[in-house]
Amino acid sequence: MAVFVLSDPHLSFGYNKPMDIFGSRWENHEKKIEQGWEKAGITDDDIIVIPGDISWALKLEDTHADFLFLNNLKGLKVIGRGNHDLWWTTDTKVKKMFWENSIKTIKLLHNNALDAGEYIICGTRGWYYDEKNAPADIDYNKIINREMIRLVLSFNSRLKFNKDAETIVFMHFPPVFKDYVCAELIDVLKKHGIRRCFYGHIHSAYDIPSVFEHEGILFEIVSADYLNFVPIKI
């Protein structure tokens, strides 16, 4: 069993949102994802983490085609929540939709942790690093406190797994980017001994380093367009 990661697929089979308006790299990106899966050599025994921006759909009932697309790709898909996943109402409703539509190869990463053999998968969404793009009239401190709680819940859930396994964290928003540092989330990561964190959300920034270090933690970008839609192996 191997663990792969690819963030921000931005699927829109049930919602009219063409991605090629964001640049030629996004042309036919669903096909590129399929090809990327094959290029990465993913098998049904593998786990693929997708930390956010799964579907452009606004309502859960409009996500069926997107999740059937993911369901038919090889491996167990572990999905987190991104800023565009407005369809994600409650975990219970999402899991009910999966069950009703025979979607059996997708699990949620939300207030929990998953056993991946030599790794333990943890994570949360995080929050905007750029205030100009964040929703207006939102209490930043309230959101960050909630994300801290979610991340701690994720870490607490790992206690039942192999203590020798490395815990790796997947977030949608980078807790560190350029001049922005979310000290609260960094402190949680450090307190729980995290050494690697993978993030998405960032697009069209193809000249930034794929990996950087901050306070002893390695951060790696895994946005789909940055990776040319080929999942990377952890």
pLDDT, tens digit (0-9, with 9 covering 90-100), for 21-56: 778 899 999 999 999 999 999 999 999 999 999 999
> Strand, coil or helix: what is 72?
helix
Task: Say what the pLDDT of residue 64 is.
Answer: 94
pLDDT digit string, tens, across residues 137-192: 788 889 999 999 999 999 999 988 988 899 999 999 999 998 899 999 999 999 99
Q: Do residues 25 and 97 make contact, with C-beta atoms less than 8 angstroms apart?
A: no
Mean pLDDT value of segment 52-69? 96
pLDDT of 233: 98
pLDDT at 232 over 70: yes
- Tell me what pLDDT residue 132 has: 66
Residue with tokens 């039942």: 160
pLDDT of residue 15: 80
Structure tokens at 131: 């205030």
C-alpha 112/C-alpha 98 separation (Å) is: 18
Q: With cut-offs at 50, 70 and 90, classify the pLDDT of residue 17.
A: confident
CA distance 137 to 95: 31
Q: Contact, 122 vs 154, CB < 8 A?
A: yes
The band of 210, judged by pLDDT with boundaries at 50, 70 and 90, is very high
